Amino acid sequence: MELNQVTLPVQDMHKAVQFYLTLGFTQIVDTPHYARFSCPQGSSTFSLALEDKASANPTVIYFEHEALDELYQTLQQRGIPFEQPPTEQRYLWKEAVLRDPSGNKIKLYWAGENRLNPPWKVNIKA
């Protein structure tokens, strides 16, 4: 099984689409109520769905990028505000935190080998 996509709720489709295009994603579906994007690397996609009213979305979407510090600098130069610059975390990931125009929390991160093989990885016994 492979994760196909995640859909985020947005209140202003135009602002949200412009935000994700600025981050570097490629738009592959464009309707007034729904937009879908492919990631710059790999085969993952995500989408935006227009919602009538604001809702608290506790979900955090993570986008991995090996050159995180350079991406952070590039996006700052493009006017993207961050809540947190790239910061080493106790769980061995480096993360930068930002929000899209609808308030959805996004983490840009790099974990390297620790993403799938952290030192505390469990061994499932059959």
Q: Which long-range contacts (CB under 8 A, 24 or more apart) does 115-123 make?
A: 115/64, 118/91, 118/92, 119/92
Q: What is the DSSP string of 16-45?
A: HHHHHHHHT-EEEEE-SSEEEEE-SSSS-E
The band of 52, judged by pLDDT with boundaries at 50, 70 and 90, is confident
- Joined together, the tokens standing for residue 11 give 């209140």
CA distance 49 to 37: 12
Which tens digit of pLDDT belongs to each residue from 64-101?
999 999 999 999 999 999 999 999 999 999 999 999 99
Domains, the chain = 7-113 (3.10.180.10)
**Dist. CA 100–CA 122, nearest whole Å:** 34
